[in-house]
Structure 1
């Protein structure tokens, strides 16, 4: 399942094998630099949109009800974020300004799955949404006796309990965990979220059972590997080897989340290991975000004990809360009294150290790797979740800056290049990593994704129009609640949600991304009668 790059010597093709549909069209994007990463198109063209689909791509003028001037701007498929924990409405608007048209919660996942989709549909979203099935939620339910709720706040609260993080499950518990996860798959979950770094004490047989379940249902797993450490034993290298061995043994497609954080300062060895596995045909894929700092809760196992040595960082000031460097004494206090507190931790310093920038490049530019944000939910000054019909983001709202600026940062620093620096990646390749590659990672198991990540006749009209010269991430570690700029227009399912750089708050055209088979396993708590739903 390794995603390989199309040769850049392939000749560009306008449109697709489908013929243009007759006009006039609902919307015409006029004279933009159209980029289709699947066919290596990079040319000034006109795009016609009818309903929620691309209906025409032409060098000739097109007629439409609404014309949007795209001269001098890039017109590209909307970005697909495989790793977005910010599933709340204001978080979705923040990502829309970063060019994201589909934001999926796949690493951690959620449970119950049907509850998640019902809750989001009732509120509406400007961008497309979806989730995998959260193994950690199922594990917490069985180890702690807490029934899952389909939101991140419930998960953060579980860090006051330690039994689910650092203990083996017996055979009966494993069976019930697998049953809960399978029910989520049957309710339309997009795969299995395996947040292994938050529960590293789970058994090898439990992990094997999850991989077998994924292979049975032909869905990917999305794994935050068991160990985040540069030191052996129990290193990130070892954890990646465990994942690779299970993919090879079971045949399950296993996706490695945030390769940059998994590898850390051991990026050279870890990247080489993943490449060897892919070259051998092992079905593994990966992603990275363009930052040298991670975000998590202070009570997570990765920040316990000798965490400084395991991460290879010098002192506790590498960890920040609300942009303020920490001491170990303050960390100990929060772990005892407020373990769900969100923190950022700098494992690399790419802006200050060239060798760290090189390490980050190894993962961000890894061939076939998607760009994925690992966007966090936003919290207010009082530490409560920012949710509901709230926009703009409240003053002082906090999250990792990748929650606002991941894709703009990648475009501005890697595709445009910094002052006096040449781009490190072509525009077509940058769009491929932000749209086509993530769509391809999912499309074998989620047919909806076959219409995403492309700009072709018949594709979904999820489209971003931006100025490559000015696109910019504005979020910082001290002031993260600043949305990106440079995205002039953003369309989701053919409906503009950002027009001339301004949000259209009344528009919520986002659709659920969901596997369509829904049944019920007998004896699973909280499930109803069997049914089948359509999600296209």
Structure 2
């Protein structure tokens, strides 16, 4: 008799709607418009989360310890930023308010790599993090003596030292570079980041040989093209051709960073060249950000040499912006001579001009391209904002892309101009970056998706109100419209408020 009762109870439980037992999951997100770019799902669903993972995506009722009502909201995979220079706690929190759950430093990278990961783990991170191997730092270490112990200071501190920027490496120096880069890969670097534009005099053979290391490891390269110019020789077109050629010859997966700012007004030539190489089987991917202005060190090699102003479109000192102030010629000359590492915003395309806006659109809408911020660290009175400071000081300064890239893209290209559907746009922000990286970085197979077994990196936002607020004059303004941002199943943003007491970010490393 007891066995019959037990069997009857088991049958009753099996017939109950999935998840109907109280407190069966940690979190339930119910009633939202769930968008999963990989499967094409765009429908109202309920999501169950436990142990940092998505357990269930269903039309049936579910219960949990915490229930998030997403009625009228979009539930999307967390956004993945492949190009985030602001690798500290405050920068990650600002990006979380823009829907970002994973921010990777892939263009510049880090060196020493182990130092980068250890510092992040010791401090704690709001969102997921990782870095490639910084080739420029390896080059600086081979050329420059008496470097500071902290590798994160090497690049800006050596902007006025020209040997590493302008000379090919000797065999001895090249051996040191190759050894340092290989060590970084061994320590978990997510590929190799090439700042060729900051060392345009480095050897072409060096780029080829270092790229071969990445190819042999099955890891990507992430390249800032060697030249920024619409004039030949040494044009952006030539620089992009170099990346394509090395990808074709080595078999490496070559990712081209910020297609928009390097292509300038030659995107009509550069875009088709890249696309045709892809169609012929060359493994290339690319990214862009939705602003007409970039940001970099005022004294970099991009702004030196004969005719550099004409090469980048006939600009003047007024195109350079520091802390919301447009420079004059004397100020520009002073900074380039005496403070060359100073970060400035450089206005390259005037998006109020429909012609320039069209150039930007070609990069933003590039087929299978993704959106990445190229976001910078936050500064206050000439010094970095303390990593753990929150909220962000109202007078903090950075390029507005550091706070608003992803919301700006959704606002302009989906809601206002209707050039993309929500599904198409969210793919460029989440599954697209994960797909670019997942063959080399297995952790990325669990990101950019709303599916059972995926990491619970999820954003819940209002499609009617999501917007960027950061401007060039007042960049320290976080985006709005995000009701919830979950990182590894932990509510980092809860009812539109960021919780500074949680640190759910986890490291992303290569598995080699």
Deviation (angstroms), 1:146? 4.3
Is the 8 Å Cα contact of residues 84 and 374 (structure 1) preserved in structure 2?
A: yes
Deviation (angstroms), 1:21? 8.2
Tell which structure's C-alpha radius of gyration is larger: 2
Is the 8 Å Cα contact of residues 20 and 62 (structure 2) preserved in structure 1?
A: no
Residue 151 and residue 461 in structure 1: after superposition, are their counterparts in 2 closer, same or farther (change >3 A)? farther
Q: Does 1:90 align with 2:90?
A: yes
Residue 292 and residue 245 in structure 1: after superposition, are their counterparts in 2 closer, same or farther (change >3 A)? same
Q: Does 1:142 align with 2:139?
A: no
Deviation (angstroms), 1:393? 1.2
Is the 8 Å Cα contact of residues 88 and 387 (structure 1) preserved in structure 2?
A: no
Deviation (angstroms), 1:149? 5.0
Aligned counterpart, 2:199: 199
SS in 1 for 2:379: coil
Q: Structure 2 matches for 1:69-468, cutoff 5 A?
A: 69-147=69-147, 149=149, 152-305=152-305, 306-350=307-351, 352-381=352-381, 383-417=382-416, 422-468=417-463
SS in 1 for 2:430: helix
Question: Deviation per CA, 1:308-354, whole angstroms, max 9, x where unpaired?
Answer: 2111134221111112111232111101111111101111111x100
CA distance in 1 between counterparts of 2:124 and 2:154 reads 21
CA distance in 2 between counterparts of 1:146 and 1:127 reads 34
Q: Does 1:498 align with 2:493?
A: yes
What is the aligned-residue RMSD (CA, Å)? 1.3
Q: TM-score normalized by structure 2?
A: 0.94
Q: TM-score normalized by structure 1?
A: 0.90
Aligned counterpart, 1:480: 475
Is the 8 Å Cα contact of residues 106 and 132 (structure 1) preserved in structure 2?
A: yes
Is the 8 Å Cα contact of residues 116 and 150 (structure 1) preserved in structure 2?
A: no
SS in 1 for 2:75: strand
CA distance in 2 between counterparts of 1:119 and 1:69 reads 37
Is the 8 Å Cα contact of residues 296 and 345 (structure 2) preserved in structure 1?
A: yes
SS in 2 for 1:470: coil
Is the 8 Å Cα contact of residues 178 and 210 (structure 2) preserved in structure 1?
A: yes
Deviation (angstroms), 1:210? 1.2
CA distance in 2 between counterparts of 1:190 and 1:246 reads 19
Question: Deviation per CA, 1:141-199, whole angstroms, max 9, x where unpaired?
Answer: 01112447555443211113111111111111111101100000000000000011011
Residue 166 and residue 44 in structure 1: after superposition, are their counterparts in 2 closer, same or farther (change >3 A)? same
Residue 106 and residue 497 in structure 1: after superposition, are their counterparts in 2 closer, same or farther (change >3 A)? same
Greater fraction of residues in helix: 2
Q: How many residues align?
A: 492
Is the 8 Å Cα contact of residues 49 and 55 (structure 2) preserved in structure 1?
A: yes
Aligned counterpart, 2:52: 52
Is the 8 Å Cα contact of residues 126 and 503 (structure 2) preserved in structure 1?
A: yes
Deviates more, 1:77-86 or 1:168-177: 168-177
Identify unmatched segments of 5+ residues in structure 2: 1-17
Is the 8 Å Cα contact of residues 112 and 151 (structure 2) preserved in structure 1?
A: no
Deviation (angstroms), 1:516? 3.6
Identify unmatched segments of 5+ residues in structure 1: 1-19, 518-536
CA distance in 2 between counterparts of 1:38 and 1:426 reads 15
SS in 1 for 2:229: coil
Question: Deviation per CA, 1:74-127, whole angstroms, max 9, x where unpaired?
Answer: 000000000000001111100000000000000000100011100000000110
